Chain A
Amino acid sequence: MIPEISIYEILTVTSILFFIGVYGFITRKNLISILISVELILNASVINFVVINKYLYPDMLQGVVFSLFIIAVAAAETALAVSIIIGLYRQISSVEVKDVETMKH
Chain B
Amino acid sequence: MNFVNIILIPLVPLAVFLLLGIFNQKIKPSVSGYIGVAGLLVSTLLSLNTAYQYFFVNGKADGVYQTFVEKTVWMNFTDTLAIDMGVQIDPISVMMLLVVSIVSLMVHIYSRGYMKGDDGYTKFFAFLSLFSFSMYGLVLATNLFQIYIFWELVGVSSYLLIGYYYTKPSAVSAAKKAFIVTRFADLGFLIGILIMGFYTGTYDFETLNNPEGSAILNWASTSFMGLSVLTWALILIFIGGAGKSAMFPLHIWLPDAMEGPTPVSALIHAATMVVAGVFLVARLFPMFYFVEEGFALNIVAYVGAFSSLFAAIIAITQTDIKRVLAFSTMSQLGYMMLALGVSGYEGHEGLGYMASMFHLFTHAMFKALLFLCAGSVIHAVHSNYLKDMGGLRKYMPITNITFLIAALAIAGVPPFAGFFSKDEILVAAFEHNKLIYFVGVFVAGLTAFYMFRIYFGIFWGKDTKYEHKPHESPISMTFPLLFLALLSIIGGFIPFSEFVTADKAGFEAHLNYPLAAIAVGVGLIGIALAWIFYKKENDLANKMVNFFGPVYQWTSDKFYFDEIYLFITKKILFDRVSAPIAKFDKKYVDGTMVGIGNKTVLTSEKIKGMQSGKVQDYAFAFIAGVVIIALVFIYLWTD
Contact = CB atoms under 8 A, between A and B. Distances in A.
Contacts of A9: none
B613 interface: yes
A4 interface: no
Interface residues of B, number: 8
Nearest to A26: B620
B629 to A, nearest CB: 16
Contacts of B632: none
A104 B613 contact: yes
10 contacts: A22-B619, A22-B623, A25-B616, A25-B619, A26-B623, A34-B616, A97-B616, A101-B612, A101-B614, A104-B613
A41 B616 CA distance: 15
B616 to A, nearest CB: 5
Contacts of A34: 616
A101 B623 CA distance: 21
B613 A101 contact: yes
A97 B623 CA distance: 20
Interface in B596-639: 612-614, 616-617, 619-620, 623
A26 B613 contact: no
Nearest to A34: B616
Given A101-B613, A104-B613, 9 more contacts: A22-B619, A22-B623, A25-B616, A25-B619, A26-B616, A26-B617, A27-B616, A101-B612, A101-B614
Interface size on A, as a range, is: under 10
Interface in B264-294: none
Contacts of B623: 22, 26
Interface string A27-42: 1000000100000000
Contacts of B613: 101, 104
Interface in B498-539: none
A31 to B, nearest CB: 11
A65 B46 CA distance: 93
A34 B619 CA distance: 12
Interface of B: 612-614, 616-617, 619-620, 623
Contacts of B620: 26
Interface string A77-103: 000000000000000000001000100
A69 to B, nearest CB: 24
Nearest to A28: B616
Contacts, number: 17
Nearest to A100: B614
Contacts of A27: 616
B624 to A, nearest CB: 10
A34 B614 CA distance: 13
A104 B623 CA distance: 22
Contacts of B614: 97, 101
A90 B619 CA distance: 27
A15 to B, nearest CB: 13
B373 to A, nearest CB: 71
Nearest to A25: B619
Contacts of B616: 25-27, 34, 97
A40 to B, nearest CB: 14
A14 B623 CA distance: 17
A25 B618 CA distance: 11
A88 to B, nearest CB: 15
Nearest to A102: B613
7 A-B pairs closest in CB distance: A104-B613, A26-B620, A26-B616, A26-B619, A22-B623, A25-B619, A101-B613
A27 B623 CA distance: 13
A97 B618 CA distance: 14
Contacts of B612: 101
Contacts of A101: 612-614
A14 B616 CA distance: 22
A97 B617 CA distance: 12
Contacts of B617: 26
Nearest to B617: A26
Interface string A45-88: 00000000000000000000000000000000000000000000
Contacts of A25: 616, 619
- Residue of B612, B613, B616, B619 with most partner-chain A CB within 10 A: B616
Contacts of A104: 613
A65 B556 CA distance: 107
A34 B615 CA distance: 11
- Residue of A26, A101, A104 with most partner-chain B CB within 10 A: A26
Contacts of A26: 616-617, 619-620, 623
A26 B627 CA distance: 15
A22 B619 CA distance: 9
A53 to B, nearest CB: 25
A22 to B, nearest CB: 6
A25 B614 CA distance: 12
A69 B83 CA distance: 76
B623 to A, nearest CB: 6
A39 B613 CA distance: 23
A101 B616 CA distance: 11
